[in-house]
Amino acid sequence: MTISRRALLAAAASLPVAVAGHGLAATALAQQFATGYHPRAESIADGIWMVRGADEAIAMTNGGAIANSAFIATDEGTILFDPGPSREYALALTALAEEVTGKPVTRVYVSHLHPDHALGAAGFAPELLHALPETRRELVDEGEGFADGMYRILADWMKGTALVLPNGDVKPGDVTYGGRKLRLLALQGHSGGDLALLDHATGTLIAGDLVFNNRAPATPHADIAAWQKSLTELAAVPHNILLPGHGPLDTGGLNTGGLDTGGLDTGGQDAIAQTADWLGWLDGALHDAVAQGLDMAEAGNIAIPGRFAGVKLARYELQRSVSHFYPALEAELLPRL
Amino acid sequence: MKKSMICCLASVLVWSGAAWAGEYPADPLDSPMWDYRANEILGDAEVVFDDAVQVIVPQLAENQHVFPVTVDASALPDVKRIVIFADLNPIPVAIDYRPINARAFVATRIKLDQRTPVRAAVQTGDGRWHVSGVWVDAAGGGCSAPPVSRVKGDWAQHLGEMRGAAWPDHDDTRIRVSFRHPMDTGLVENISAYNIDTLSVTAADGTKLAEMSVFGAVAEDPVFTMIVKDAGEAPIAVSARDTAGLEFDGSVSRRAGVDLLAQAR
């Protein structure tokens, strides 16, 4: 099944005229073919760069490069946090990392299973790839399906991308790599295993998809209660700035936890609070929609509070979340007849 | 591919009544299957494309096995039938709804086997079909992957379990009812077609409120939302039958909906 669908896409890609015969959108697809990735690195702290993904849905126009990645320079080589959606993107990141840090990528962390973060593992030798044990387990179950889905949407952008599993060997706690002290946080809620990373020297918290900033959270594997708990834990981690999985760097907001933070609690709380706010609203709003007798399509069209006006893809992610949660909520709330 | 062709043949046999007059209005969606489906489903009655028929769907098919479709044609007078269909599905028609004493409104969830137009055809008392729809992009296999309950193996334990409630909706009553049912399409290896095929809604005094023919293109564990012209507090009976002849009966009341509303924030 897997092979035949990709083979079909490959055949379609080589015959743009035949594809175009089936309608306007197909014509557009044929015209927007991959032109190559051009990621850019931006310095956010001493020895740390972010590579911003587009604040968009996965689409032909962005090659699936919608998630943020990070480079951390160390004496032993560059650590890459999240290799992105495809082999080609991972190769572009590799070249970029070496250009800005002067050292090749020698370690790659995969924050969680989702394809916009994980499938770029195909660009690296397996021994460089590390993730939480749960992330590896989830990729064993779902990785091939993700690859199918990404090939369907992205076709040529995905060329050469096969599922490469990271080692499931990340344990929570402090590690020192190439002279750099890092804390690895093993959390969950956005998915079954969500890795976050704190760089002690700079107070940079790299949060993966536990935190979204002015871009609506995606919930295909979410457990909202567990996610909220993880956000509470992240908020309590002393840090200065926070790189979310999607959306801009967060430098705003104070850590008000009253913790002994060693002077590191100057910012990076706003996006955590916004993510928690969205998830709390979403959970309540979907319960209310079932209680009011709305069907799924109607629930996807409910009003989104004005405080989320600056949040990109809010309607899109609400409608995805309706698909993820609504049938189970109906089974829970509607009485048996 | 082979499965689709077999299914196309089957659908021709089911919908073989009408002779094609050969003239349908040009399809605003430019679907490769428009003329074929129009002939098959709408026959030789007059057909117009009409924005008065609202087809309300999400902007993406997050799950091709469960794609929500709401149709509101209450702007049209004297609506007799609402047919929801997807041109490029191997089983094109999902439901054929007859709102006898009900508003021209219905919602359910369908399977999508590939990128396809999803449409509602609404027939008014003068025989004319009013058609509207949208292209929906979808990953393949919505009709040819086994239902979740088949994979889990618990479908038989829960078969026919019904949930639902009724809510006051302006002067009418909105009813929602769900069934545990695999809604097998017959397109999955070694699992024959097995689906709910009729649904009826009856008032406490015996008045028939609505009837529906249901096809295998409706999603597993189907859910139906209708708005019936019965503002009373008495329970409204909902009964369904599947292709094995099993009957599922239940009734919904406004009390349950009001209780649920009280729990909302």
- ipTM computed for the complex: 0.89
Q: Decide if A149 touches B, using CB distance below 8 A.
A: yes
Task: Give the integer Cα–Cα distance in Å for A333 and B168.
Answer: 18
| pLDDT exceeds 70 at position A33 | no
Question: Is B7 a residue whose pLDDT tops 90?
Answer: no
Picking from A1, A146, A337 by the largest number of B CB atoms within 10 A of its own CB, the best residue to mutate is A337
pLDDT in tens, A82-110: 999 999 999 999 999 999 999 999 999 99
Cross-chain residue pair B58–A337, CB shorter than 8 Å: no
CB contact under 8 A, A324 and B60: no
Q: B27, B62, B110, B224: which to substitute to probe chain A, counting the most A Cβ within 10 Å?
A: B62
Residue ranges of domains in chain A, CATH in brackets: 1-31 (no CATH), 36-278 (3.60.15.10)
Q: What tokens does A16 get? A: 């743009």
User: Per-residue pLDDT for B10 more than 70?
Assistant: no
Which residues in chain A are contacts of B60 at CB distance < 8 A?
57, 316, 319-320
Q: Which residue has the higher pLDDT, A60 or B149?
A: A60
Cβ neighbours, 10 Å, residue B12: 12
Q: Is A292 on the interface with B (CB under 8 A)?
A: yes
**A129-130 and A173-177 beta bridge pairing:** unpaired
Q: Are B220 and B65 in contact (CB under 8 A)?
A: yes
Which is higher by pLDDT, B1 or B12? B12
The total number of structural domains that make up chain B: 1
Indicate yes or no: CB of A300 within 8 angstroms of CB of B58.
yes
Domain span holding position B248: 2-263
Q: What is the mean pLDDT of chain A?
A: 88
What CATH number is attached to the domain comprising B26?
2.60.40.2470
Minimal C-alpha gap between A245 and chain B (Å): 21
Contact residues on chain A for B265, CB-CB shorter than 8 A = 284, 287-288
Instruction: Tell me the pLDDT band of A21, cut-offs 50, 70 and 90.
Output: very low
- Interface check for A280 against chain B (CB to CB < 8 A): the answer is no
Q: What pLDDT score was predicted for residue A316?
A: 96
Does residue B191 have a pLDDT over 80?
yes
Query: What pLDDT does B216 receive?
Result: 97
Min Cα–Cα distance to chain B from A45, Å: 37
Could you tell me the pLDDT band of residue B150, with boundaries at 50, 70 and 90?
Answer: confident
CB contact under 8 Å between B260 and A290, yes or no, is yes
Kindly determine whether residue B223 and residue A300, on different chains, have CB atoms separated by under 8 Å.
no
* Degrees, nearest 5: CA angle B22-B135-A311: 160
pLDDT exceeds 90 at position A10 = no
Q: Report the residue of B64, B135, B176 to disrupt the A interface, i.e. the one with the largest count of A CBs within 10 Å.
A: B176
Give tens-digit pLDDT for A112-130.
999 999 999 999 999 999 9
pLDDT at position B148: 81
The confidence score (pLDDT) of residue A34 equals 53
User: What's the confidence (pLDDT) of residue A253?
Assistant: 61
> Burial, A42: exposed, middle or buried (Cβ in 10 Å; 0-12, 13-18, 19+)?
exposed
Q: What is the pLDDT of residue A2?
A: 38
Mark yes or no for CB contact B109/A316 under 8 Å.
no
Alpha carbon dihedral B230, B236, B242, B246, in 10-degree steps, equals -160
Distance CA A72, CA A45 (A): 9
Contacting residues of B for A335, CB less than 8 Å apart: 163-165, 256
Residue B53 has pLDDT above 70, yes or no: yes
What pLDDT score does A266 carry?
59
> Measured between CB atoms, does A287 come within 8 Å of chain B?
yes
